[in-house]
A and B are shown apart, each in its own frame.
Chain A
Amino acid sequence: MISQTSTIQFDQKSVHAMNWRLYWERYGVIAAFIIVLILASVMAPNFLSVSNILNVLTTMSFVLFVTYGQTLVILSGGMDLSHGSLVSLTCMASAALVAIGHPWMGLSAGLAVGAFCGLINGAIIGVIRLNPIITTLGMLYMAGGLALYFTDGKSIVGGDPAKVQGFHFLAEGRIFHIPFVIILALVFLLLTHFLLRHTRFGNHIYALGGNEEAAEIAGISYAKMKIIIFTLSGLSCGMAGSLLSARMLSGEPQVGAGTFLLESIGAVVVGGNDIFGGMGNVGRTLIGLMILHFLGNALNLMGISTFTQQIIVGVVVLLFCYLGLVHKK
């Protein structure tokens, strides 16, 4: 009897707390994004201009592709550290073919190299069951080295401008004044969302990230899942790398080092996806990346130095993580 009454009381008391918690979990990150936008438009001159917003979105779109791959990996309970180097390597692979006049083969090469490196990650993690962080850290070094190896660290330039126009359009073209790369990024956003929400494969990603053991008992193959997930993650880097080569019409061996790796994980975390997997969606990742980019842009416009910016972004990441932990407990 005593325990029963106390349960009821607890339930009543916690109804409000539950609702509040639910709203916070669901919409907190959107609220944070809106606050960033409001603060930015008030404090940063020229922030609210069409050209500025489109600029930010364009730059962001290149990174967006890798965050889709990272979202799959993190939701499934892993982490892919190899993104920075894979973007550089695939950019080089793509640019090498662009330089000798085969842009579409360049695109294919970029995608293929990315997928292949991801496949290796996935096979090691899935079959040998090595830790994803260690495995992809290894790949980060290897792919980073490879990207520098073939040209001795030099950029790849050249190619016949007439032949690469269509390819260049992918990254720099506009449809109704909207940069094509933004449209491309949105299309892939919808595809990733569909994959996660409406396919069995996507549902199994959540299951694996939620409870590996229970997922395996239900008959979901850990190896198969990890191989596909990391291959897609590599493919997403190939996409970003190829598009970078299309934008610059050159290959930079360290183009992915730094921002790409940091923002690929950063966007997923800041967007409020569960860092241990099992909960979240790609929409959150998009908002996470938008917060990082609009914040950076606003600070730029306010004339704050890059170093100070980094400190501020770091504080924001910690703040979000703290808020994330609060609503999880």
Chain B
Amino acid sequence: MKSEPILRFEGIIKQFPGVVALKGVNFELREGEVHVLVGANGAGKSTLVKILAGVYQPDAGRIIFDGKPVTMKTPEQAFEMGISIVYQNFNLIGKMDIGQNIFLNREPLKGRLIRRIDWERIYSETQSVLERLHVNIDPKSKIDDLPVADLQMVEIAKALAVQSRILVLDEPTSSLSGQETDELFSRISQLKEEGVAILYISHRLEEIKRIGDRVTVFRDGEGMGSGNIEDMSVQKIIKMMLGRDIKKIYPWRARETGEEILSVNNLASSNAFSDISFSLRTGEILGISGLVGAKRTELAHAIFGALPIGSGQVRFKGRTVEFRSPKDAIHAGIGLLPEDKAKHGMFEILSVASNVTSAGLKLLKKGLGLDLNKEKGVVEEYKEKLNIMTPSTKTQIESLSGGNQQKVVLAKSLFTNSEVLIFDEPTKGIDVGAKEEIYNLMIELAGNGKGIIMISSELPEILGMSDRILVMKEGRVTAEMSREEANQEKLLEAAL
């Protein structure tokens, strides 16, 4: 068995404003092995990959490649060293065909006098790479016309079309079917035989056993340990991923919950989720946990009328409702605080005041215009109540911090008298202090009888804030548990 270390990271540190992404990582990749990298969201896996790709430069530490210290300053440099990376999100050009994409910027030329692109060679080589992957697609198919699973295979083919020494696969199976996964795995085994070092990043613990030779677990920017696959049980890996106790920053306290305000029955939406049922009471905080891609956001959008419902029912305040658009949902009394605030939650160039009232301008109607004095009064009130830190209510929301923006988005939902509030990743990208304030507000709102649904990928947040927890996986509910029953292991097991 070949086991020369081809690449070694020694004490790699990488800082970003406000966070240390990698805190002195040591890591080793050997020829002809599949090395699996696992870790929760934000553990530092993607930062490590980006350093390897030449996208980021480490702040400290050494990278040893083939026994010599190296620096990879640009993606091209990494590519020339034989490092191929298949990112989780595709870097394909939709308007071009497969061959064009695979040979982009390395088009072979032919002809002595007039050098021109050798298209026949591009398509025949593309054909043979696709055949090696057992993918049966025409190399001249346009990317835009292909289903997602094929795109993943094209990305992999792109990496395989060159002789790589290191192949990085970031969640390669997340959009593949079982059979395609098998093909990919047999291709990976073949590459292993050829001596290629493979760095495999995955959330799917069952895959690790199948494909991996060694595992390294990441947590909070540190390698928690590496080991041969035989020595690592799934339980052990999960323990290493989670580790620490949940800090007591959550202001949760026992509350009286009232009667059912929202219920969902066998709800399904094509291509997203199916068979979803749950209910929510007034004063209750229902946490929805799961991995990225579990279709939780889609569920929220469907309840909110932003995504068509295929079948099933939504009942709100005892009546079956059919929201054709978010407008209907807002009017009925449901508020959504979207995950992507900038895209779905606010008007970046408008003022704080305009943002707060944007969903409920009806309430400000006065004659033919708007009662701007009333707006000013109302918004000042929210600014006070939610402690929104802004120089003035006329300030553009863009210039506020993430936490304060979130409070403005919350005020927007409160202004329209929402009785059910759906928080989608409410503390994503905001600092600890602001997080605590958001938590306090959620508890206060629940105390005032609002029903709250909180979608979060942060396990501690789910455990710390929810009265009851649903876990979703690939568009289905895989577990429901009370606050008392829940712990990290149970949530992870249901989500993976």
Residues of A at under 8 Å CB distance from B? Answer: 18, 194, 198-200, 203-204, 206-207, 209-211, 213-215, 217-220, 274, 278-279
A187 CB to nearest B CB, Å: 15
Q: Assess the A204–B93 pair: CB atoms within 8 A.
A: no
Contacts of B75 in A (CB 8 A): 217, 219
Q: Assess the A199–B117 pair: CB atoms within 8 A.
A: yes
Contacts of B107 in A (CB 8 A): 200, 203
Q: Assess the A278–B96 pair: CB atoms within 8 A.
A: yes
A219's partner among B79, B93, B115, B117 (CB-CB below 8 A) is B79
A210 CA / B100 CA spacing, docked (Å): 12
B80 CB to nearest A CB, Å: 10
B191 CB to nearest A CB, Å: 22
Size range of the chain B interface in the assembly: 10 to 19
Q: Assess the A211–B105 pair: CB atoms within 8 A.
A: no
* 8 residue pairs from A and B, CB less than 8 Å apart: A194-B116, A210-B93, A210-B94, A211-B92, A215-B93, A218-B105, A274-B95, A278-B95
Contacts of A18 in B (CB 8 A): 145
Q: Assess the B117–A207 pair: CB atoms within 8 A.
A: no
Instruction: Using known A-B contacts A199-B116, A218-B105, A219-B105, determine if residue A207 contacts B93 with beta carbons closer than 8 Å.
Output: yes
Contacts of A215 in B (CB 8 A): 93, 104-105
Q: Assess the A210–B105 pair: CB atoms within 8 A.
A: no
Q: Mark B68-110, 1 if CB is under 8 A from A, else 0.
A: 0000000110010000000000011111100010001101010
Instruction: Using known A-B contacts A198-B117, A217-B75, A219-B75, determine if residue A203 contacts B100 with beta carbons closer than 8 Å.
Output: yes
A206 CA / B103 CA spacing, docked (Å): 13
Residues of B at under 8 Å CB distance from A? Answer: 75-76, 79, 91-96, 100, 104-105, 107, 109, 115-117, 145
- Given contact pairs A203-B107, A206-B95, A220-B104, a sample of 7 additional A-B residue pairs in the complex whose CB atoms are under 8 Å apart: A199-B115, A200-B107, A203-B100, A211-B94, A213-B91, A214-B93, A215-B104
The 4 closest A-B pairs by CB, nearest first: A210-B93, A278-B95, A198-B116, A210-B95
Instruction: Kindly count the residue-residue contacts between A and B in the assembled complex, taking CB atoms under 8 Å apart.
Output: 61
Contacts of B96 in A (CB 8 A): 206-207, 210, 278
Q: Assess the B92–A219 pair: CB atoms within 8 A.
A: no
A169 CA / B387 CA spacing, docked (Å): 79
Contacts of B93 in A (CB 8 A): 206-207, 210-211, 214-215, 278
Most B CB contacts (10 A, CB to CB) among A200, A213, A279 go to A200
A218's partner among B104, B109, B116 (CB-CB below 8 A) is B104
Contacts of A206 in B (CB 8 A): 93, 95-96, 100
B248 CB to nearest A CB, Å: 42
Contacts of A274 in B (CB 8 A): 95
Contacts of B92 in A (CB 8 A): 211, 214
B107 and chain A: residue at smallest CB distance: A200
Contacts of B91 in A (CB 8 A): 211, 213-214, 217-218
A18 CA / B145 CA spacing, docked (Å): 10
A200 CA / B122 CA spacing, docked (Å): 12
Contacts of B116 in A (CB 8 A): 194, 198-199
A210 CA / B94 CA spacing, docked (Å): 7
A8 CB to nearest B CB, Å: 12
A197 CB to nearest B CB, Å: 8
B50 CB to nearest A CB, Å: 12
A217 CA / B75 CA spacing, docked (Å): 7
B160 CB to nearest A CB, Å: 16
A212 and chain B: residue at smallest CB distance: B93
A296 CB to nearest B CB, Å: 32
A210 CA / B451 CA spacing, docked (Å): 45
Contacts of A211 in B (CB 8 A): 91-95
Contacts of B95 in A (CB 8 A): 206, 209-211, 274, 278-279
B359 CB to nearest A CB, Å: 30
Contacts of A194 in B (CB 8 A): 116
B36 CB to nearest A CB, Å: 25
Q: Assess the B94–A207 pair: CB atoms within 8 A.
A: no
A220 CA / B79 CA spacing, docked (Å): 13
Contacts of B115 in A (CB 8 A): 199
A202 and chain B: residue at smallest CB distance: B117
A299 CB to nearest B CB, Å: 35
A199 CA / B107 CA spacing, docked (Å): 9
B122 CB to nearest A CB, Å: 10
B427 CB to nearest A CB, Å: 28
Instruction: Using known A-B contacts A199-B117, A219-B79, determine if residue A204 contacts B94 with beta carbons closer than 8 Å.
Output: no
Most A CB contacts (10 A, CB to CB) among B91, B96, B116 go to B96
A271 CA / B407 CA spacing, docked (Å): 50
Contacts of A209 in B (CB 8 A): 95
A316 CA / B300 CA spacing, docked (Å): 44
Contacts of A198 in B (CB 8 A): 116-117
A218 CA / B161 CA spacing, docked (Å): 14
Q: Assess the A220–B117 pair: CB atoms within 8 A.
A: no
Most B CB contacts (10 A, CB to CB) among A204, A211, A274 go to A211
Contacts of B117 in A (CB 8 A): 198-200, 203
A199 CA / B109 CA spacing, docked (Å): 8
A114 CA / B76 CA spacing, docked (Å): 34
B110 CB to nearest A CB, Å: 10
Contacts of B104 in A (CB 8 A): 203-204, 207, 214-215, 218, 220
Contacts of B94 in A (CB 8 A): 210-211, 278
B133 CB to nearest A CB, Å: 20
A226 CB to nearest B CB, Å: 16
A206 CB to nearest B CB, Å: 6
B109 CB to nearest A CB, Å: 7
A55 CB to nearest B CB, Å: 35
Contacts of A213 in B (CB 8 A): 91
B110 and chain A: residue at smallest CB distance: A198
Contacts of B145 in A (CB 8 A): 18
Contacts of B100 in A (CB 8 A): 203, 206-207
A279 CA / B95 CA spacing, docked (Å): 7
A220 CA / B100 CA spacing, docked (Å): 14
A200 CA / B119 CA spacing, docked (Å): 11
Instruction: Using known A-B contacts A210-B94, A218-B91, A278-B95, determine if residue A200 contacts B109 with beta carbons closer than 8 Å.
Output: yes
A194 CA / B96 CA spacing, docked (Å): 18
Contacts of B109 in A (CB 8 A): 200
A204 CA / B105 CA spacing, docked (Å): 7
Contacts of A199 in B (CB 8 A): 115-117
A279 CA / B104 CA spacing, docked (Å): 16
A210 CA / B105 CA spacing, docked (Å): 14
A198 CA / B111 CA spacing, docked (Å): 11
A217 and chain B: residue at smallest CB distance: B91
